[in-house]
Amino acid sequence: MKLLFTTILGLVTLCSCSQEPEPLFEYPLFQNYTEIVKEHNMVYENDFLNLESTSNSETKNWLIKQDSIVKKYYDINGLERFNTHLEEIGNINSPDYYWLKNSSKEYFYWGDNDSTQVLYMGSKSSNIVKPIFSATYDKTIHFYAPNIEGTKFILFVSDENGDYLRVKDIPTGETLFETDKDMNTQQVSYAVWANEDQIIYTGWPNHENSKDSYLAIANITTGKTKTIFSGNKIAEYNNEHFLRPNIRYGSDVLQAVIVNGGEQYNGYNTSLQNIESNPKWKQVMHEKDSVIYYPTERNGIMYFLRYKNGEKTLVKTTVEDISHPGKDIVLFKAENQAVITDYAVTESKIYVITSKYGIDHRLYAIDKNNNAELLNLNYPISGLRFYHTDASLSSIVLLQSSWRENYVFVNVDDSLNIRINNKVTRNTPEEFKNIENDIVEVKSHDGTMVPMTIIKPKNFNTNSSNKAIIMAYGAYGISVEPFYNAAILDFVRNGNVFAVAHVRGGPEKGLKWYTSAIKENKKNSWKDLLSCSQYLKDSGYVNTDKLGVYFASAGGVTAAMAINENPDMFKAAVGEAPMLNPLRLGYQANYNASDNDYDFGTKSTLEGFKSLLKLDPIINLKKNRNYPNTLIISGGQDELVPIYDGAKYIAFLQSQKIKTNNAYLLDVVKDEGHNLSPLETTRKALFFFNNEL
Q: Give the pLDDT score at 95.
A: 45
pLDDT at residue 2 above 60? no
Tell me if 334 sits within 8 A of 311, measured CB to CB: yes
Q: Give the pLDDT score at 591.
A: 65
Is 369 inside a domain boundary?
no
Find, among 80, 47, 71, the residue nearest to 616 by Cα: 47
The residue ranking higher by pLDDT, 595 or 488, is: 488
Q: Give the pLDDT score at 21.
A: 57
Tell me if 549 sits within 8 A of 576, measured CB to CB: no
C-alpha span between 462 and 100 (Å, rounded): 42
Tell me if 250 sits within 8 A of 195, measured CB to CB: yes
Q: Cβ contacts of residue 110 below 8 Å, gap of 6+?
A: 97, 98, 99, 117, 118, 119, 120, 141, 144
Q: Give the pLDDT score at 16.
A: 35
Q: Cβ contacts of residue 53 below 8 Å, gap of 6+?
A: 59
Q: Give the pLDDT score at 22.
A: 66
pLDDT band for position 154 (cuts 50, 70, 90): very high
Portion of the chain with pLDDT greater than 70, in percent:
94
Q: Give the pLDDT score at 6.
A: 28
Q: Give the pLDDT score at 4.
A: 30
Is 238 inside a domain boundary?
no
End-to-end Cα distance, the chain: 42
Of 20-34, 566-580, 583-597, the one with minimum mean pLDDT is 583-597
The residue ranking higher by pLDDT, 263 or 475, is: 475
Of 85-94, 490-499, 503-512, the one with minimum mean pLDDT is 85-94
Tell me whether strands 253-259 and 175-179 are parallel, antiparallel or unpaired: unpaired
Is 312 inside a domain boundary?
no
Cα dihedral across residues 481, 202, 634, 515: positive or negative? negative
Q: Give the pLDDT score at 293.
A: 86
Strands across the sheet containing 225-230: 191-193, 198-203, 214-219, 225-230
Cis peptide before 380 (omega within 30 of 0): yes
CATH number of the domain bearing residue 518? 3.40.50.1820
- Count structural domains, the chain: 1
pLDDT at residue 5 above 50? no
Average pLDDT of the segment spanning 183-210: 83
Q: Give the pLDDT score at 18.
A: 41
Is 618 inside a domain boundary?
yes
Q: Bridge partners of 131?
A: 120
C-alpha span between 400 and 378 (Å, rounded): 10
CB atoms within 10 A of CB 521: 14
Burial class (CB in 10 A: 0-12, 13-18, 19+), 624: exposed
Q: Bridge partners of 360?
A: 356
Average pLDDT of the segment spanning 204-232: 86
Tell me if 149 sits within 8 A of 106, measured CB to CB: no
Q: Cβ contacts of residue 309 below 8 Å, gap of 6+?
A: none
Q: Cβ contacts of residue 442 below 8 Å, gap of 6+?
A: 449, 450, 451, 452, 501, 528, 531, 532, 535
Is 616 inside a domain boundary?
yes
CB atoms within 10 A of CB 321: 15
Long-range contact pairs involving 69-74 (C-beta distance under 8 Å, separation at least 24): 69/25, 69/27, 69/665, 69/666, 70/631, 70/665, 70/666, 70/667, 73/663, 73/665, 74/684, 74/687
Give the rounded distance of the alpha carbon of 72 from its chain centre.
Answer: 30
In the chain, DSSP finds a helix count (H) and a strand count (E) of 12, 40
C-alpha span between 110 and 98 (Å, rounded): 5
C-alpha span between 462 and 521 (Å, rounded): 35
Provide Rg for the chain, Cα atoms: 27
- Cα maximum dimension of the chain: 108
The residue ranking higher by pLDDT, 95 or 634, is: 634
The residue ranking higher by pLDDT, 127 or 539, is: 539
Find, among 351, 346, 388, the residue nearest to 98 by Cα: 388
DSSP 674: S
C-alpha span between 430 and 2 (Å, rounded): 63
Tell me if 269 sits within 8 A of 319, measured CB to CB: yes
Q: Cβ contacts of residue 163 below 8 Å, gap of 6+?
A: 156, 157, 180, 183, 184, 185
Backbone angles phi, psi at 656, to 5 degrees: -70, -30
Tell me if 26 sits within 8 A of 659, measured CB to CB: yes
Average pLDDT of the segment spanning 415-435: 85
CB atoms within 10 A of CB 284: 22
C-alpha span between 354 and 338 (Å, rounded): 6
Q: Give the pLDDT score at 195.
A: 93
Q: Give the pLDDT score at 11.
A: 28
Per-residue pLDDT tens over the stretch 615-625: 999 999 999 89
Distances (CA, A) of 104 to 124, 148, 216, 389: 9, 6, 26, 11
pLDDT at residue 230 above 60? yes
Cα dihedral across residues 579, 406, 119, 386: positive or negative? negative
C-alpha span between 352 and 538 (Å, rounded): 39
Type of residue found at 335: E
Q: Give the pLDDT score at 13.
A: 29
Is 81 inside a domain boundary?
yes
Is 568 inside a domain boundary?
yes
> Which range of residues forms the domain containing residue 51?
26-90+430-692
Q: Give the pLDDT score at 489.
A: 93
C-alpha span between 676 and 639 (Å, rounded): 12
Give the Cα-Cα-Cα angle 269, 275, 280 (nearest 5 degrees).
50
Type of residue found at 503: V
pLDDT at residue 17 above 70? no
The H or E element containing residue 527 is helix 523-538
**Burial state string for 537-552 with b = 16 or more CB within 10 A and e = fewer than 16:** beeebbbeebbbbbbb
pLDDT band for position 208 (cuts 50, 70, 90): low
The residue ranking higher by pLDDT, 373 or 357, is: 373
pLDDT band for position 527 (cuts 50, 70, 90): very high
Q: Give the pLDDT score at 207.
A: 64
pLDDT at residue 35 above 70? yes
Per-residue pLDDT tens over the stretch 59-81: 999 999 999 999 999 999 999 99
CB atoms within 10 A of CB 524: 22
Is 266 inside a domain boundary?
no
pLDDT at residue 186 above 70? no
Q: Give the pLDDT score at 483.
A: 85
Q: What is the SS3 string spanning 253-296?
A: EEEEEEECCCCECEEEEEEHHHCCCCCCCEEEECHHHCEEEEEE
Type of residue found at 155: L
pLDDT band for position 504 (cuts 50, 70, 90): very high
| DSSP secondary structure, 312-341, as one string | EEEEEEEGGGTT-GGG-EEEEE--TT-EEE
Q: What is the SS3 string spanning 59-100?
A: HHHHHHHHHHHHHHHHHHHCHHHHHHHHHHHCCCCCCCEEEE
pLDDT band for position 14 (cuts 50, 70, 90): very low
pLDDT at residue 210 above 90? no
Of 19-23, 183-187, 638-642, the one with minimum mean pLDDT is 19-23
The helix/strand/coil state of 202 is strand
Find, among 477, 556, 463, 557, the residue nearest to 515 by Cα: 477
Give the rounded distance of the alpha carbon of 525 from its chain centre.
Answer: 17
